[in-house]
Amino acid sequence: MEASVSRKWKTIDMAYIALFAVLMAVCSWISIPAVVPFTLQTFGVFVAVSVLGGKRGTLAVVLYLLMGIVGLPVFAGFSGGLGVLLGSTGGYIIGFVFTALVMWLIERLLGTKTWVLALSMLLGLAVCYAFGTAWFLVVYTKNTGAIGLWTALGKCVFPYILPDCLKIALALAIRKRLAAAIRLGRRIHYLPPYRGETKLQLSVLLGIAPALLHDYKSVDLMFAVAEMREVKSAEEVAQMEDAFHIGYAMHTTAMRMCRAGVVEREIAGAIEGVAKSMGLGVSFPSIVSQHGETLHNLNSEGVLADGRLLLVDAGGENRMNYCSDHTRTYPVSGRFTAQQREIYDIVLACHDHIARIVRPGMMYMQEVHLEAYRKLAEGLVGVGLLKGSADDAVAAGAMYLFMPHGLGHGLGMDVHDCENIGERSFDYSLVAERAAQSATCLHRATWRLRPGTILSDEPGIYFIPALVDKCEAEGKFRGIVDYDLLRSRYLDFGGIRIEDDLLVTDTGCRILGDRTIPVTVEELEAVVGR
């Protein structure tokens, strides 16, 4: 039991040490305009040591310093690296450690009463000034020339005495409240991570094994974030329109490069370059493949060949971290065959139909996704791949064979906005009532569209040999799917997907962007390979 308690407190200690190291970094980035501008670095040090206590506070300061040494931009002006510390003012940053040690020593000798903390902060500040000034004199003299002590104090100390005293007063004012919150052992809320690097970071910060992180996620925070991000403001919509321009450039570049003999990764690399030149880079790893039937296919080693279809699913992230996501499918030769056009027109008709009917108040799963299935099924009945009525095919689940994914997803600061904190993160049955009340893209089964919602519209038809084999062997959809026709004419077809991003308005919806990425057969044939 004692060992368990000890491990618990070590975990909590690590979490708070890391948290306050990050707090110091944030404080260093905050610049207060004044006659002589100053940051809140020393404020962060005072708060860390006074709240966490001498030992943990000093370790937080040391961690902050180490973060800067390895190059993280945690110092003032988003700077980092050993060069900052070796500069003329680096001694004042190193002096933070001595400030923390002085405060720790006085805490051990006199306790943690408010007047003792005030005294320890003042003495610690004086030690920091002394060490930093001595450092400044040595480095400045070596690099520039001799300088007097009084001049150095006039540059590096005197202008900051009053601001630093105000920081001490502020630190003392909030210290009591923060310390009380920590003593209460309040829970640290975090979202369920899905990226590997994020899992490792959280594991280090919280002392929780990566495999157990989902067990301690905050459902309260998940719903709060989803509700905040669901409806986009006018400013956010403007950012996503900006991201659209990146996507437009990426896709038109891919179209022009598409011709027999080109390697898929050449196109993938080129459009990634476009994304980086116009924004922060791609919003997700680009899918550039002649095997469109393989969903999320990141293998781009194929050589483009006449007669094949190239599926490009790609988007860019703008400098404010907003994403675009579009898919286009077109013939490598520059001309659709009759069969390719037949299937393409079915997918395009569905895409356009959804863009016409989406309006606020619709339930995503029941009224949008299933309507897309029905529209695709109508087309597949028309070409003979499905028998009977479209409604019967949808009711039987036969569309799973041709489009085994949802019609779309939320979009915003993540390309699958909030999905990582939703459907795959909890047992839906346990939160069904709450999810229904939230009505966000957190879970698509209870997602009700609202003005300001942005979602992708990405129907597709795919001919997946392994899935065909599986469904036929299991006797699924007999009498509905024409397996003979499917096998004789379509198994080597590949797949087609068309995707744009819809903004739900007060009365309906519109496709994001001030222009259309080439999408009709005629538009594509006019651009591809040119």
pLDDT at 433: 83
Domain boundaries, the chain: 2-186, 223-520
Among 52, 50, 62, 54, CA closest to 21: 62
Token pair of 470 as six digits: 């599986």
Q: Was domain 2-186 assigned CATH 1.10.1760.20?
A: yes
Sign, CA dihedral 126-129-135-140, equals negative
- Other Cβ atoms less than 10 A from the Cβ of 15: the count is 17
DSSP letters spanning 181-225: HHHTTPPPP-PPP-SHHHHHHHHHHHT--GGGGGGG--HHHHHHH
SS3 78: helix
Q: Are 267 and 257 in contact (CB under 8 A)?
A: yes
Among 247, 457, 414, 394, CA closest to 322: 414
Centroid of chain to Cα 86: 35
pLDDT at 34: 61
pLDDT at 423: 65
Q: Are 226 and 439 in contact (CB under 8 A)?
A: no
Give the torsion through C-alpha atoms of 135, 141, 144, 147, to 10 deg. Answer: 100
Token pair of 69 as six digits: 């040494």
**Digitized pLDDT (tens) for each residue of the chain, 530 residues in all:** 333 334 444 666 777 788 788 888 888 888 777 655 678 888 888 888 888 888 888 999 999 999 989 888 888 888 888 888 888 888 888 989 998 999 999 988 998 888 888 898 999 889 998 998 998 888 888 888 888 888 888 888 888 888 888 888 888 887 777 666 666 666 778 888 777 777 777 776 666 778 888 888 888 888 899 899 999 999 999 999 999 999 999 999 999 999 999 999 999 999 999 999 999 999 999 999 999 999 999 999 999 999 999 999 999 999 999 999 999 999 999 999 999 999 999 999 999 999 999 999 999 999 999 999 999 999 999 999 999 999 999 999 999 999 999 999 999 999 988 877 766 666 767 777 888 888 888 888 889 999 999 999 999 999 999 999 999 999 999 999 999 999 999 999 999 999 999 999 999 999 999 999 999 999 999 999 88
Separation of alpha carbons 426 and 263, rounded Å: 41
From first CA to last CA, the distance across the chain in angstroms is 72
Phi/psi region, residue 242 (left: phi>0; alpha: psi -120 to 50; beta: rest), is alpha
Centroid of chain to Cα 357: 30
Among 70, 36, 58, CA closest to 106: 58
Q: Are 501 and 324 in contact (CB under 8 A)?
A: yes
* Residues across the chain: 530
Q: Are 454 and 243 in contact (CB under 8 A)?
A: no
- Other Cβ atoms less than 10 A from the Cβ of 373: the count is 23
Sign, CA dihedral 398-401-402-406, equals positive
SS3 454: strand
Looking from the CA of 414 toward its CB, the CA atoms found within 13 Å total 16
Q: Are 358 and 502 in contact (CB under 8 A)?
A: yes
Q: What is the CATH number of domain 223-520?
A: 3.90.230.10
- Other Cβ atoms less than 10 A from the Cβ of 194: the count is 15
Separation of alpha carbons 373 and 40, rounded Å: 56
Which backbone phi and psi does 481 adopt, to 5 degrees?
A: -95, 135
pLDDT at 28: 85
